Amino acid sequence: MDFLSLPPSYTTPMSVRGFMIFEDAKLPDSLAPYSDFLSKWGKKGAIQFIPLSEGSYWLAVIGLGKRVERSSDLTTLYRNKTAEYIRKGTTIGLKIFSLALPEPPTAASSKAIAEGAILGNYRFTKYRTTDTSPAATCESFFLEGGDLQAMEQGRHVATAQTYSRDLANEPGNVITPLIMADIAREIASRHGMELTILDEQQIQDKGLLALWHVGKGSKTPPRLVHLTYHPQGEETLGKIALVGKSVTFDSGGLCIKTRDGIKTMKCDKTGACNVLGIMNALPALQCPYEVHGLFGAVENMPDGNAYRPDDIIRTFNGKTIEIKNTDAEGRVTLADMLAYTSTLKPNAIIDMATLTGAAVTALGNYTAGLVSDWDKLSNDVLLSAEKAGERFHRFAMDDEKLREQIDTPYADVVNTGGPGGGVITAGMFLREFVDPTIPWAHLDIAAVDYYEKEFDCYGLGASAFATRTCLEYLLAEHK
């Protein structure tokens, strides 16, 4: 998609000029002939396309509903409505879009609208040999009065998210732990990043036995991946580590999932896909931090070599885990990855994981969980999420009675705390493997990872939720 500096001609085939309006707002002069429809168009969610000539120029009205006051709410609204404008316009074959806002664009709104344009243009149709839908692709986009530099930044942020979506939407027969390592290798080569990949023997030799045990039931061996981005110049604002869960397919292991529960488990690698998308975008965004992106890639499969309930596993930091549920495998792999990452001594660690079904029960399907004992880091992440237009709810880990649910007489910790308080007990489990002197936040994205229908800036399939939040965090200065 090209971001245009000049508007397209009114006679350009398959082009449209859109106007965003709030309820009860006055229509622009070019839409005055259609004022009878204002009450319908101004309502939140209503988008109307008006053909002016056959196969040529169109007009569109994008209703914004009631006026919002907070700037972050406004940019979120702009992002989402731009995505819907692009999605619906391409469905009727439009390819060239322009957009006018109800007020002059700022850098923040220009960035958000660029993100919406990229995200609304996204579809995963790689494996369709015949496509019966009439959808086109947005080729050019013009924002009247837009800040082109901010829009380019928005492009890189949204492209990181679509990059992650593409990977997460790939099925388990295409993306394996070995392929995840290959993708990291390609990113490192293209950007000149440092890369460490540990194979199955090196994983065992280094004592990452939790990661090894989860992956050893598959014929495809596990891999540990560590990418490092260094900012240009000698100055850096600090060292940040991102850790992603990377179960390329989760059958549940010997505690095998149900027929319904096993669906979409290709997306159990989304945390690591987000890490790859973020790392791929950092050079273009000129991120001022040294960033380490890590994941342990495994398949959780139930063969004769699979790990079992009642197994006791020693982890990288020496603590032991009693296994009670082989379908609580993500936290077992993350135990080693967080302990390994702690040895890097970063200023902060943020992990992303499709970790618990309890997140869906607690939060529904549109809000992710943030679990952390660190107020400053949590506030910074929540502020970044607000700017990114992603919803998070913070959970504290201060309930000692709840902590007892992951106690066991046979090991240091058990890998499931039962159904009650599952988001928090999962966080408490992970906390056992993080250096307590390092600020750490866990992002549970299980509730928001996959959507069965399009809405706002989310397409059908993997959402790559938390990508924009982490990039906002990495582009801000944290004192």
Catalytic residue ranges: 257, 331
Provide the 3-class DSSP secondary structure of residue 367.
Answer: coil
Given CA atoms 262, 266, 272, 273 in this order, what sign does their dihedral have? negative
Phi, psi of 380 (to 5 degrees): -65, -40
Residue 329 to residue 319: CA distance in whole angstroms: 16
Nearest to 466 by CA among 231, 277, 332: 277
Tokens at residue 286, please? Answer: 């000129």
CB neighbours of residue 364 within 10 Å: 11
Tokens of 4: 């245009």
The span from the CA of 62 to the CA of 116, in Å, is: 14
Looking at 26-77, which runs of residues are DSSP E strands?
47-51, 57-63
Q: Does the CA dihedral 265-266-272-277 come out positive or negative? A: negative
DSSP letter, residue 404 = G
Kindly give, in sequence order, each residue whose CB lies less than 8 Å from that of residue 86, ignoring residues fewer than 6 positions away: 97, 116, 117, 120, 121, 138, 141
CA neighbor of 442 nearest in space, from 452, 455, 428, 460: 428
Could you give the CA distance from residue 430 to residue 411 in angstroms, rounded to a whole number?
Answer: 15
CA distance 471 to 241: 12
Contacts 24+ apart (CB under 8 A), 169-173: 169/124, 169/266, 169/267, 169/461, 169/462, 170/266, 171/266, 172/248, 172/249, 172/265, 172/266, 172/299
